[in-house]
A and B are shown apart, each in its own frame.
Chain A
Amino acid sequence: MMQSAADMPVWAAIAVAFFLLVGSGLALIGAIGFLRLPTFYERIHAPTLGTSWGIGGVMLASMIFFTVSSGRPVFHEILIGIFVTVTTPITFMLLARAALHRDRAEGNGNVPDKPNRSQAARDVLGEGDTQSG
């Protein structure tokens, strides 16, 4: 049985509003950080706010709202949280490794070099064969 949002008990409304604000606030802060942080490697940290407790807060708010308003437990939002958590590291690693590769190849920034890289990788990067790894 579906109720309208105005009929919700106060405690539920407060909990929903709190988690919704926390989640969307963190996502907003992440977006601001994306804009303001100076280097690529620093910027990579900003969206993780949105993908950790940003999504977590919105997820909890949605679970509470629909559980209370429909009168039965609603948990399927948790799947969104699980899949976001499991899949974002893949994108992050791809982006970060592309950036690392480029910075190493172009020799810009203070990117740590790989100590014993294979000869094939050195050839790709156009480095002289100082030592075969």
Chain B
Amino acid sequence: MLPYPLLTLSLILMWLLLNGFTPGHLVLGILVAVFASWAMASLRPDKPRLGKWYLLPKLFGIVLYDIVKSNIAVARVILKVGRRSHNPGFLTVELDIENHTAIAVLAVVLTSTPGSAWLEYDSNDKTVLLHILDLDNEAEWRNTIKNRYEKLLMEIFA
């Protein structure tokens, strides 16, 4: 009946946020969400398996905190750019995750964190090429990606 319960739930929530909560809109939202998730099912995308979904808030918190930190760091770099205080560079990281959704989430996390940009993922040798605005401590960046994000994502999409 409901091929993608999470998608359906998110669509209902979105409908109610956009239109305000009334019983009429709840019914209409449920109808729209159910039909939309059937449409999605006919596209047959890979269904992500959320193993430990309760770790999602933890990931969200970590990412929000890191975004605040890197916002400050990048703002600092930009405002004193005349003195060439930073050291931009490319970084290739080997990834262990193979789940497409998990890789997509990792890409969104790394791109929306200022200071690191996801350039391209190579599915043959499972490496990703990143560009880092301030690559002073390469080992630390590698450690952040591998241990802070990737480990958690592998647990969530187990």
Contact = CB atoms under 8 A, between A and B. Distances in A.
Query: Do A and B form a real pair?
Result: yes
Interface of A: 26, 29-30, 32-33, 36-37, 39, 41-42, 44-46, 48-49, 51-53, 75-76, 78-79, 85-86, 88-89, 92-93, 96-97, 100, 111-112, 114-116
B16 to A, nearest CB: 9
B88 interface: yes
Contacts of B88: 39, 41-42
Chain B, interface size category, equals: 20 to 34
A contact patch SS = helix
Nearest to A48: B114
Nearest to B17: A76
Contacts of B125: 115-116
A133 B152 CA distance: 33
The 9 A-B residue pairs whose C-beta atoms are closest, nearest first, are: A33-B78, A89-B111, A48-B114, A76-B17, A45-B133, A41-B131, A96-B119, A53-B71, A29-B75
Contact of B113 (A44, A52, A97, A112): A52
Given A33-B81, A36-B82, A114-B122, 8 more contacts: A32-B78, A46-B78, A49-B75, A53-B68, A76-B17, A86-B108, A88-B111, A100-B120
Interface centre among B113, B118, B133 (most CB of A within 10 A): B133
Interface centre among B88, B107, B114 (most CB of A within 10 A): B114
Nearest to B131: A41
A32 B82 CA distance: 12
Contacts of B71: 26, 49, 52-53
A75 B17 contact: yes
Interface string B1-25: 0000000000000100110000000
Contacts of B118: 89, 92-93, 96
Nearest to B122: A114
Interface string B108-130: 10011111111110101100010
Given A45-B74, A92-B111, A29 B79 contact: yes
B56 interface: no
Given A53-B68, A75-B17, A100 B112 contact: no
Interface centre among A45, A52, A114 (most CB of B within 10 A): A45
8 contacts: A33-B74, A39-B88, A46-B74, A48-B117, A49-B74, A52-B67, A79-B18, A100-B129
Given A48-B111, A48-B112, A93-B118, A26 B18 contact: no
